[in-house]
Amino acid sequence: MTTTLLPAFLDDLRELVECESPSADLAAVARSAEVVARLGTARLGTAPETIVLDGRTHLRWRLGDGPSRLLLVGHHDTVWPLGTLAERPFSVADGVVRGPGCFDMLTGLVMAFHALASLPDVDGVTLLVTGDEELGSPSSRGLIEDEARLAGAALVLEASADDGALKTGRKGVSLYDVGLHGRAAHAGLEPESGVNATLELAHQVQAVAALSDPSAGTTVTPTVATAGTTTNTVPATASFAVDVRVRTVAEQDRVDAAMRALGPVLPGARIEVRGGPNRPPLEEAMSDALWGRVRSLASELGLPAPTAVSVGGASDGNLTAGVGTPTLDGLGAVGGGAHADHEHVLLAPIAGRTALLTRLVADLLAHPLEHPSGATNTPLPTRGSRP
């Protein structure tokens, strides 16, 4: 992208930001999908498929007539409630773009549109834009995984890490709810007749927290807890939530097995463990081949050498990597303030990062990676074509 094309880029970004899309508001997400579809159609020359799952609106462009070789992934939902735009309108000043969702991750979508539009041949590219990523992709997970299984590589247009670093690793996430069951009794008259679920909770919270392994990057964090009904009753029930973050599948499996093996400490108490792995980790090995290519291509373009980090937050890149597809994440905007009032995008890096994305797509189409399953040769249904 040249600086002369930047005004058109910002016009597209403004339209996306000014159509608010809080994830939990199905109507707002549907309106946002219409705007994304219109802008993408104008840039790519073909309309997307609109896919509604559990009331949530997703878009899929399948470009060209050949089998899928490369998947680009983004989302158009944001964390911001309706009315945020009135408080923090879209603006461009002093080299900084502001507005709800600009960093996470609407700029990445516009980058994808402009990068693909600049290429003479995008046969085999699938662009998937989902509408529920900020909720953990409850309806789109299967869609993402199915598309990833067909492709040789997945590029995720989420915003960069600090200073523009790409994300070559993301921790996997597991979520649990631990229910403790005891027996109620009067706390003054006969507490010894009860089985105190709050005491059992205290034992189990300590046991669960001990599953953390800082040396492996594993955190096991008890979070929200509840217990009891009245101040003069031995609690019959209690519960607590657990947030688990891991770097490897092996650690996710270890913690899951330990959670399911929890046993009561107090005689007569009972434990119920619900939940489990929510997203697999994006292990750094899944990014190695793509990371090597992007560094080489940046050098060819005369761009600064990119950096890479592994981060704790999850994205749809966890899902693409989880089915074995080489994945590179954080290819979107440079800036900061995701989910915060100071959310912003730096204007200067946009052109270079879009050029790098363009070159990476072209290189992967010319020299595709093959999915470990060999599914890159699987024919797809009729695909939209560029004029």
Reduce the DSSP state of residue 349 to 3 states and report it: helix
pLDDT higher than 90, residue 228: yes
Same-fold call for 3-170+281-377 versus 172-279: no
User: pLDDT band at residue 97, thresholds of 50, 70 and 90?
Assistant: very high
CATH of domain 3-170+281-377: 3.40.630.10
The mean per-residue pLDDT over the stretch 12-26 comes to 98
Instruction: Give the percent of the chain with pLDDT over 90.
Output: 93
Count CA atoms within 13 Å of residue 351 on its CB side: 13
Q: What is the pLDDT of residues 24-53, one digit of tens each?
A: 999 999 999 999 999 999 999 999 999 999
Q: What is the pLDDT of residue 369?
A: 85
Q: What is the pLDDT of residues 101-122, one digit of tens each?
A: 999 999 999 999 999 999 999 9
Instruction: Give the percent of the chain with pLDDT over 70.
Output: 94
The mean per-residue pLDDT over the stretch 194-221 comes to 98
Domain coordinates in residue numbering, the chain: 3-170+281-377, 172-279
Contact by Cβ (8 Å): 110, 12: yes
Contact by Cβ (8 Å): 151, 71: yes
Q: What is the pLDDT of residues 284-297, one digit of tens each?
A: 999 999 999 999 99
pLDDT higher than 60, residue 191: yes
Q: At what angle do helices 6-17 and 349-366 cross, to 10 degrees?
A: 90
Name the E strands within 182-260.
Answer: 185-186, 219-227, 233-234, 237-246
**Rounded to whole angstroms, how far apart are CA atoms 151 and 154?**
7
pLDDT higher than 70, residue 376: no
Output the pTM of the full model: 0.89
The mean per-residue pLDDT over the stretch 300-328 comes to 96
Contact by Cβ (8 Å): 158, 166: no
Q: What is the pLDDT of residue 2?
A: 54
Q: What is the pLDDT of residue 377?
A: 33
Select from 3.40.1160.10, 3.30.70.360, 1.10.1270.20, 2.10.77.10 the CATH code of 172-279. 3.30.70.360
